[in-house]
Amino acid sequence: MSEEVMTEVEDGVLIVTINRPEAKNAMSKAAAEGIAAAMDRLDSEDDLRVGILTGAGGTFCSGMDLKGFLRGESPSVEGRGFGGVVQKPPEKPLIAAVEGYALAGGLELMIACDLVVANENAKFGIPETKRGLVAAAGGVMMLPDQIPERIAMELALTGDFIDAARAYELGLINRVTSGAALDGAKELAATIAANGPLAVRVSKQVLKQSRGWPMEERYKRQTDLIAPVFVSEDAREGAAAFAEKRKPNWKGK
């Protein structure tokens, strides 16, 4: 894995850190490849339940590395898109832990995550129009799915930033911390990791996919996805653990 991305595992949580603090964690080709490799690992290793994506040195990600852009470098990975995750997020939950700035591609990286924990001093925006560019890594497409369209339009056309309080008010982020965002993200990840892994994965799948399902097919399609969960070993274990007043021993099957 690239030195521009660091990974560590804590209690079933894979922590992925963009490690380019000298460049405000601007996204490079190497960093994108490192994140893509980490996402593959998250989904392939059964012991990993949740991922956290964060940045070193007090900044989440300041966007595309413009120096690399001028050299003709694309900070994308085939099949996964910008940052190695925007077009194909992992099947397991991914939490963004945001310190400092999540701007341009950094915001697009953030909104590709399932949940967001941010420090109260964090700033968010898609300022591409200020540079004669367009937020093409999902910003102008995905942001209106997550906040009101008129607000997304304002952010896209003005390029202005919003703070953590406003982002929380809009529902763009889940939690605001006065301390380290990573600590808050770990707390949230631990709560998720304690739940049945099959149930968590399929719940995410239904939440993500069902918005595009025809209304008359929704329950049929949901049943197709969740039926295996209800007959799994984990479902029986969850019921038994509840009855016996003990912690479940999940097997992920």
Whether pLDDT at 1 is above 70:
no
Band of residue 2 on the pLDDT scale cut at 50, 70, 90: low
Q: Would you state the torsion angle of the CA atoms of residues 97, 100, 105, 110, taken in this order, to the nearest 10 degrees?
A: 20
Domain contains 250: no
Q: Are residues 10 and 104 in the same domain?
A: yes
Mean pLDDT calculated for residue range 221-228: 94
Confidence class of residue 74 from pLDDT cuts 50, 70 and 90?
Answer: confident
When divided into structural domains, the chain yields a total of 2
Residue 90 has pLDDT above 80, yes or no: yes
Residue 80 lies in a domain: yes
Helix (H) or strand (E) holding 5: strand 5-10
Whole-number average pLDDT of the chain = 94
- The per-residue pLDDT for range 146-201, each reduced to its tens digit, is 999 999 999 999 999 999 999 999 999 999 999 999 999 999 999 999 999 999 99
Average pLDDT over residues 71-99: 94
- How far from each other are the two terminal CA atoms of the chain, in whole angstroms? 30
CA separation for the pair 140, 156 (Å, rounded): 7
| Chain segment 100-148, per-residue pLDDT in tens | 999 999 999 999 999 999 999 999 999 999 988 889 999 999 999 999 9
Pair (168, 63) in one structural domain: yes
Contacts of 205 (CB under 8 A, 6+ apart): 91, 225
The Cα diameter of the chain in Å comes to 62
Q: Is 33 a catalytic residue?
A: no
Query: Which one from 33, 120, 128, 237 is the annotated catalytic residue?
Result: 128
Claim to verify: residue 16 and residue 80 sit in the same structural domain: yes
Do 165 and 185 share a structural domain?
Answer: yes
* Residue that is written with structure tokens 């590709």 in the block: 112
- CA pair distance 214, 220, nearest whole angstrom: 10
Residue 209 above 80 pLDDT? yes
In this prediction, residue 212 has a pLDDT band, given cuts at 50, 70 and 90, of confident
Determine, yes or no, domain membership for 57.
yes
Q: Are residues 128 and 230 in the same domain?
A: no
For residue 252, being part of any structural domain is answered with no
Residue 180's pLDDT is 96
27 beta partners? 64
State whether 167 and 207 are in the same domain.
no
Is the Cβ–Cβ distance between 215 and 227 less than 8 Å? no
In a domain, 167, yes or no: yes
Dihedral (C-alpha) 151, 154, 156, 161: value to the nearest 10 degrees? Answer: -90
Give 28-45 pLDDT, tens digit per residue: 999 999 999 999 999 999
Residue 73: pLDDT over 90 = no
How far is the C-alpha of 135 from the C-alpha of 108, rounded, in Å? 8
CATH number of the domain within which 119 lies: 3.90.226.10
With contact defined as beta carbons under 8 Å apart, do 129 and 159 qualify?
Answer: yes
253 domain-assigned: no
**26 and 116 in one domain?**
yes
Query: DSSP letter at 106?
Result: H
What is the reported pLDDT for 211?
87
Do 100 and 36 fall within a single domain? yes
Instruction: Indicate whether 214 pLDDT > 90.
Output: yes
> Is residue 212 located within the same domain as residue 134?
no
Is-catalytic flag, 108?
yes
**Same-domain check for residues 49 and 169:** yes
Q: Which domain holds residue 207?
A: 197-244
103: left (phi over 0), alpha (psi -120 to 50) or beta: beta
**Residue 234, pLDDT above cutoff 60:** yes
Q: What is the mean pLDDT of residues 19-24?
A: 95
Alpha-carbon distance of 181 to 177, in angstroms, equals: 6
Residue 219 pLDDT class (50, 70, 90 cuts): very high
Judged by average pLDDT, the poorest of 9-18, 51-60, 211-220 is 211-220
Tokens 């007959």 — which residue? 231
- Tell whether 49 and 101 lie within a shared domain: yes
Q: Does residue 161 sit in the same domain as residue 216? A: no
Q: Considering the candidates 108, 120, 216, 237, report the single residue annotated as catalytic.
A: 108
Write down the pLDDT at residue 42.
97
